[in-house]
Every structure is written in structure tokens, then in C-alpha cells.
Amino acid sequence: EAQVTQNPRYLITVTGKKLTVTCSQNMNHEYMSWYRQDPGLGLRQIYYSMNVEVTDKGDVPEGYKVSRKEKRNFPLILESPSPNQTSLYFCASSGRMSSGANVLTFGAGSRLTVL
């Protein structure tokens, strides 16, 4: 089944303890992206990647890192999490964005709480 898999789905952690949220897709998609969702603010893009070794900042990149060493994986790294990063996170992927119309496939989400 074509899908985007995120782990963990739920995580409670403490301020300053580094964590990684993994994202993997099995559709050979070039484009991958991370979003966070907070009440009243909709979905905001954190980082995106057009292809392997190519990443770029979205609208809210502060406090996050990403890497794209393999086509299928796009982990989101919080080096020193803070309570304002408590949020619902979504990973998404699609075929090459420059090829016209494209459809994003989203993961199920990862709910992160930073105490």
C-alpha cells in the first residue's frame, strides 16, 4: 500500500532532550515536506525537500533540522525541544513539484508534547 509512515505517533518529552521524528514513504516520491498544526493556525510548513540532499526552509523552520540522505526518508530533528514546539506534526510527499499538478500524500501525524 502506498503510504507515508511517521514515527512515533505520540511522544511526551522534556525541554532540551533531543528527539527525531522519522518519516518514510514507499512511493519513490522526489518531494517531501514537514508541517506543524496548531489550533487556529492551520498547517504551516517547516521544511521541504525537492530531492536527495536538497532541503529548504518553509515558513516556520526555527528550532528544527531535517536531512534527506535517502529518497524515501525525511527525518525531522528537534535538537533542543521547547514547550512552544508542542504540536501535531505531519509529513507529506509527492512526485516532482515542478512537473505541474501534483498531489501530496500525508502521514497520519505525530503528536508531540514538550514539558
The three grid cell numbers given for residue 22, joined into one nine-digit string:
522519522
- Alpha-carbon distance of 27 to 13, in angstroms, equals 31
Phi, psi values for residue 85, rounded to 5°:
-95, 5
Segment interacting with other proteins (CB under 8 A) among 14-22, 37-45, 61-69, 70-78? 37-45
Contact between 52 and other proteins by CB under 8 A: the answer reads: no
Among 22, 45, 86, 113, binds other proteins (CB under 8 A): 45
Residues of span 55-74 touching other proteins by CB under 8 A: 56, 58-59
**49 within 8 A of 32, measured Cβ to Cβ:** yes
The DSSP bridge partners found for residue 52 are none
Residue ranges in contact with other proteins by CB under 8 A = 4, 31, 33, 35, 37, 40-45, 48, 50, 56, 58-59, 88, 90, 92, 97-98, 100-109, 111
